[in-house]
Amino acid sequence: MIKKRKKKPYTEVYVLGQHICMSAHKARRVINQIRGRSYEETLMILELMPYRACYSIFKLIYSAAANASHNMGFNKANLVISKAEVNESTTMKKLKPRARGRSYLIKRPTCHITIVLKDISLYEEYEV
């Protein structure tokens, strides 16, 4: 006799933004403010914050929520940011010409941003 296990439904959707042109330190400043908040509250916070990193993070969260509602059938009102992290990526290097034939190295840091959205309505049903 074979027992069938109940499949736990996928309750998470994640999005990964790679090689975003900003330092990881500046992106973490914004990510730390939105970790653990609901989707709608996060969008309001990102629209009002004055940092350049907000636009890239806003696009990532909006895209993840659109994927969650379209592919998985989740309601956007039930989504919560369960995990958000920023990792350093490669540094772009450019040479700028200077006086007397010398060159000056310009370093442009990039980062990878990972955001995980969790549907709390499904999670609450299976915990009970």
Match 């009002």 to its residue by tokens. Answer: 48
What CATH number does residue 51 fall under? 3.90.470.10
Range of the domain at 80: 12-127
**Is residue 17 assigned to a domain?**
yes
- Confidence at residue 2, expressed as pLDDT on a 0 to 100 scale: 66
Cα-based angle 104, 105, 106 (whole degrees, multiple of 5): 115
| Number of domain units in the chain | 1
Query: Which of the 8 DSSP states describes residue 38?
Result: B
> How far does CA 36 lie from the centroid of its chain?
12
Within-domain flag for 7: no
| 30 within some domain | yes
For 49-58, write each residue's pLDDT tens digit: 999 999 999 9
The answer to whether position 112 is within a domain reads yes
Residue 72 in any domain: the answer is yes
State the CB neighbour count (10 A cutoff) for residue 18. 11
Residue 37 domain-assigned (yes or no): yes
At residue 36, the 3 state secondary structure works out as coil
Establish if 2 belongs to a structural domain. Answer: no
What number is the average pLDDT over the span 60-86?
92
Claim: this prediction has a pTM higher than 0.95: no
First vs last C-alpha separation in the chain: 28
pLDDT digits (tens, 9 = 90+) for 102-120: 999 999 999 999 999 998 8
Alpha-carbon gap, residue 53 to 98, rounded angstroms: 31
Residue with tokens 């379209």, as numbered in its chain: 70
Give the Cα-Cα-Cα angle 88, 89, 94 (nearest 5 degrees). Answer: 120
